[in-house]
Amino acid sequence: MEGRTSEVNLPPTNYSLTIVSPVSYGIKVAEEFGYINDSSTFGVAEGVTFYRPGYSMIIVTVNENASPGLIAHEALHVLHRLYEAIGQQTDPANDELDAYILEYIVDSINNHLCKKDSYKE
């Protein structure tokens, strides 16, 4: 088996997040979906987030041994790509929605790495 994927919906939108591990497999998946043209540009990345305007899927890929910090790092990229896609602006004075979505993304990536079937509250 080359790798593993999980998919979750990103509330409150109709976008989905495809989580892939390890990174080498995630780059292949992103290439197959047309998100990138040249996989050689990613070198030895520990995590990568892919977004393509006009597509309702965001792809994040991390290695199985990703640290909590790396998971948070990629989750923030996912949140920003999601906001870019839906035209949402961040507001530091009113960031509760950001925090809830970020928590959901981090939990989803962690559940994928822990091989849990789905997000559970």
Domains in the chain: boundaries: 4-113
Q: What is the pLDDT of residue 37?
A: 83
Task: Label residue 58 exposed, middle or buried (CB < 10 Å: 0-12, 13-18, 19+).
Answer: buried
Contact 58, 50 (CB under 8 A): yes
Looking up tokens 């559940």, which residue turns up? 111
CB of 20 closer than 8 Å to CB of 59: yes
Per-residue pLDDT tens digits of the chain, which is 121 residues long? 589 999 999 988 999 999 999 999 999 999 999 999 887 778 778 999 999 999 999 999 999 999 999 999 999 999 999 999 999 999 999 999 999 999 999 999 999 999 865 444 3
Strand order, beta sheet including 47-51: 4-10, 15-21, 57-62, 47-51
CA dist 4 → 35, 42, 64, 101 (Å): 18, 19, 10, 23
Sequence-distant (6+) residues with CB within 8 A of 7 are: 16, 17, 18, 19
CA atoms within 13 A on the CB side of 52: 12
